[in-house]
């Protein structure tokens, strides 16, 4: 993927992947959203998973652009232990503000995989961020010590769409009833047999007569439908 040209506002270590606005995008319907898509703790924006889901989200949402980026600890080919999610909020917010200024007037969607979805929720809770939707792909509701990390979710006022694999132990949203306690409008799409990255075993797929691609397509269509409903 081609990286966008450096901007004066870009922070040190920031890698943002997205196309520069063109005459065609400037005339695209303002209902088309700009999506800022954050990676998870263990793999950068250039991973196969992120590239695939970037394309899935762009197509399903008819997005004017899906902006991906690397957090500083992951930039430049480095792979350090990720810091606490709270320490990534300022950097993430800067990327969001750059995207909003570039695509003025388009609805803003904050999306993220695992840790990236948790930071996206923290960013959306800030007063100077006006998001239309948050998409959480495998929200890590349970920490490594088993504690339920729902504080940020309970503070949100922005609509949230959760996508989770039914075999994902880090995201037992339905069992813990988090959605019922949330103030924000929320939706949940479950990928039957999917793990934390939505990977479904071959045995499960054969038993159900389905494919990985069909399961992922159903998930992004559910996201698109929820986005349309949330704008009403």
* In-domain check, residue 1: no
Full pLDDT tens readout for the chain, 232 residues:
444 444 434 444 444 555 444 444 444 577 899 999 999 999 999 999 999 999 999 999 999 999 999 999 997 766 678 999 999 999 999 999 999 999 999 999 999 999 999 999 999 999 999 999 999 999 999 877 778 889 999 999 999 999 999 999 888 777 668 899 999 999 999 999 999 999 999 999 999 999 999 999 999 999 999 999 998 6
Local structure of 157: helix, strand or coil: coil
User: Whole domain around residue 131: which residue ranges?
Assistant: 30-230
Question: What predicted TM-score, i.e. pTM, was given to this entire model?
Answer: 0.86
Which residue shows structure tokens 């996206």?
120
Q: CA-based angle 186:191:194, to the nearest 5?
A: 130
Instruction: Specify burial of residue 39 (Cβ count, 10 A radius: 0-12, 13-18, 19+).
Output: buried
Structural domains in the chain (count): 1
11 inside domain: no
Has residue 220 been placed in a domain? yes
Three-point CA angle 140, 230, 169, nearest 5° = 15
Give a yes or no: residue 76 inside a domain: yes
Q: Does residue 57 lie within any of the structural domains?
A: yes
* Count of alpha carbons within 13 angstroms of residue 155, beta-carbon side: 12
CATH number for the domain harbouring residue 150: 3.40.50.1820
Tell me the three state secondary structure of residue 60: helix
């Amino acid at each position: 993927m081609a990286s966008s040209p450096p901007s004066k506002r870009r922070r040190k270590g920031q890698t943002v992947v997205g196309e520069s606005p063109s005459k065609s995008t400037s005339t695209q319907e303002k209902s088309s959203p700009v999506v800022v898509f954050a990676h998870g703790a263990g793999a950068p924006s250039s991973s196969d998973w992120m590239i695939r889901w970037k394309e899935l989200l762009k197509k399903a949402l008819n997005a004017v652009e899906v902006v991906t980026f690397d957090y500083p600890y992951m930039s430049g080919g480095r792979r350090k232990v990720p810091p606490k999610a709270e320490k990534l909020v300022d950097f993430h917010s800067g990327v969001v503000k750059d995207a909003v200024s570039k695509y003025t007037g388009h609805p803003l969607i904050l999306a993220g995989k695992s840790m990236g979805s948790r930071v996206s929720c923290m960013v959306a809770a800030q007063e100077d961020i006006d998001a239309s939707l948050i998409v959480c792909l495998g929200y890590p509701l349970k920490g490594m010590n088993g504690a339920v990390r729902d504080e940020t979710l309970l503070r949100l006022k922005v609509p949230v769409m959760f996508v989770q694999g039914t075999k994902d132990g880090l995201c037992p949203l339905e069992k813990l009833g988090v959605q019922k306690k949330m103030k924000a409008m929320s939706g949940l799409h479950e990928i039957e047999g999917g793990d934390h990255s939505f990977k479904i075993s071959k045995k499960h797929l054969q038993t159900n007569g389905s494919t990985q691609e069909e399961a992922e397509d159903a998930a992004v269509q559910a996201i698109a439908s929820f986005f349309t409903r949330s704008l009403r």
